[in-house]
Amino acid sequence: MTDTSYNGWTNYETWNVALWIQNDEFLYNTAKACVEYCGDNETPYDKFVRCMFNVDCFLTSDDVEWNGDKVDFDEINEMMKDL
């Protein structure tokens, strides 16, 4: 069986999003606030993406879309809950 993950994450895009959230102070604090204040009808990562769009930030600094099709939202939500 071949390892199809990227540094322990589903893929490069998921890893890159997680990397930026965990290593940039603004993104980290925003993600923590999103976990604490997300509504009943949204996930922490949904709220995070909405916050990023509100400040006209649509990509990581490596040009990965926050809400890109390849980002594993479930995996990012789990990571955010552990912040």
Question: Over the stretch 18-77, which tens digit does the pLDDT of each residue have?
Answer: 999 999 999 999 999 999 999 899 999 999 999 999 999 999 999 999 999 999 999 999
Helices (H), 1-83: 12-23, 25-37, 44-54, 73-81
Q: How many CB atoms lie within 10 A of CB 72?
A: 18
Q: How many CB atoms lie within 10 A of CB 69?
A: 6
Which tokens is 71 given? 């980002």
pLDDT at position 5, please? 85
Task: Using alpha carbons only, give the angle 79, 70, 74 rounded to the nearest 5 degrees.
Answer: 30
Alpha-carbon gap, residue 27 to 13, rounded angstroms = 16
Predicted TM-score (pTM) of the model is: 0.92
